[in-house]
Amino acid sequence: MEIYENRPGQSNNQPWLLSFTVLVLIVFGTLAILQTAALGLLPFVFGISFEQLPYLLGATLDHPNARLAFLFIQGLGGGLAFFIGGWIFIRFVDRKTLRMDKQLDPHQFENLWIVLPMLIGFVLFNSLLVYLNMNFDFPEALSGLEASFRAKEDQLMELTKYLTDFESIGEFLLGVLVIGVFAGIGEEYLFRGIVQPKMHQYTGNAHWGVWITAFIFSAIHFQFYGFLPRLMLGALFGYLYLYSGSLIYPIVAHILNNTLTVTLVYFNKLGIMEFDMEEADQLYWQYVIVGLVIFLFCWNWFIKSNKNQVYE
């Protein structure tokens, strides 16, 4: 069960729409402030002038520190902003607590090992949804909308490739820190820690809370051709929190998922193994089936190990 409680001696139950609107404003305000601060530090930390910023943000800057600078902006104005913005909202607006002392109780770590094989199985099975989403064809009447979505997808893919085209082990490790650790902690703290229990409270149904939050989580990435698999991934993170009662599970799963992708990209560049983020024209049913079997086995074990949790 999610933990989102009033602080001792305090009670603050605002109308749901007002509360959610304030949360959005605080998070995006924090993001804007931190990204502005990150941009302002670029000339001093990375030797990139303000005149070069449009090329950096457009992923076309040829500079030895360009990728490090981009990761710096992403880390400070991405995952970290989500965490800080969420914390400000909880502490000073909603005056709630996530009871992190309870969520970090040592017994919560006893079954954490199951997350890795579960995630691997889920990723293999989710390749089916990646394939279906990437190869979705619009009707002729919506060809203009399809072209717009494709153009946006291509733009984001170029940014992703630029960000993950690591030239050294140092860039790779910074990529793991920013894309894996910071994003995993910040996004799960905000979406599963705050948004999901609030949606649960607003709708009165835990499952609605999971799926509405997963929808929002996928939508803010602004990638139509990745929407469905990311929706399912968000739902997985949501149920990991719901059934364990600890954010540690979705945070670890999120970090592992992002780190796995970053590592595969780096290994592909080193020639250790083949991996192409853009490849979605083939579907390997054997991977889908094996992944589903692994995931269901791990999920069943996970549910049984958390059978004493209370759900609503």
Residue 10 is predicted with a pLDDT of 65
- Strand pairing class (5-6; 96-97): antiparallel
Predicted confidence band at 181 (pLDDT cuts at 50, 70, 90)? very high
pTM for the predicted model, two decimal places: 0.93
What does the pLDDT read at residue 278? 61
pLDDT tens digits, residue range 11-49?
A: 667 778 888 999 999 999 999 999 999 999 999 999 999
In this prediction, residues 193-205 reach a mean pLDDT of 94
Handedness of CA 90, 91, 94, 95 (dihedral sign): positive
Residue bearing the bigger pLDDT, 281 or 64 = 64
The overall average pLDDT reported for the chain is 89
Strand extents, DSSP E, the chain:
5-6, 96-97
* 118-131 residue pLDDT tens: 999 999 999 999 99
Over 90: is that where the pLDDT of 8 sits?
Answer: no
What does the alpha-carbon distance between residue 89 and residue 134 come to, in Å, rounded to a whole number?
A: 36
Arithmetic mean of pLDDT, 51-59 = 87
User: Which residues fall within 8 angstroms of residue 305, CB to CB, at 6 or more apart?
Assistant: 111, 114
